[in-house]
Copies of this chain bind each other. A is one copy, B any other.
Amino acid sequence: MLTDPENPPVTRRFTERSADTRAAILDAARARFAADGYEKATIRAIAADAGIDASMVMRYYGDKAGLFRAAAFADVDLTGLGAPGPSGELPDMRELATRVARVLLQNWDTGENQVQRLLVRTAFTHPEAVAQLQRFLDERLEPPFLALLGDDPDAQLRVALVFSQTLGVLSARYLLGLEPISSADPELIEATLRDAIEVVLTRPMRASRD
Contacts and interface: CB of A to CB of B under 8 A. Distances in A.
Query: What bracket does the count of chain A residues touching chain B fall in?
Result: 35 or more
A157 B180 contact: yes
A54 interface: no
Contacts of A165: 165-166, 168-169, 196
Given A168-B164, A203-B195, A176 B124 contact: yes
Contacts of A166: 165, 168
A161 interface: yes
Interface of chain A, main secondary structure: helix
Contacts of A122: 124
A157 B176 contact: no
Interface in A178-193: 178-181, 184, 187-189, 191-192
Contact of A205 (B125, B133, B156, B192): B192
A50 B86 CA distance: 66
A148 interface: no
B209 A199 contact: no
Interface in A196-210: 196, 199-200, 203, 205, 209-210
A122 B137 CA distance: 23
Nearest to A175: B124
A78 interface: no
Contact of A199 (B161, B163, B172, B196): B196
A134 interface: yes
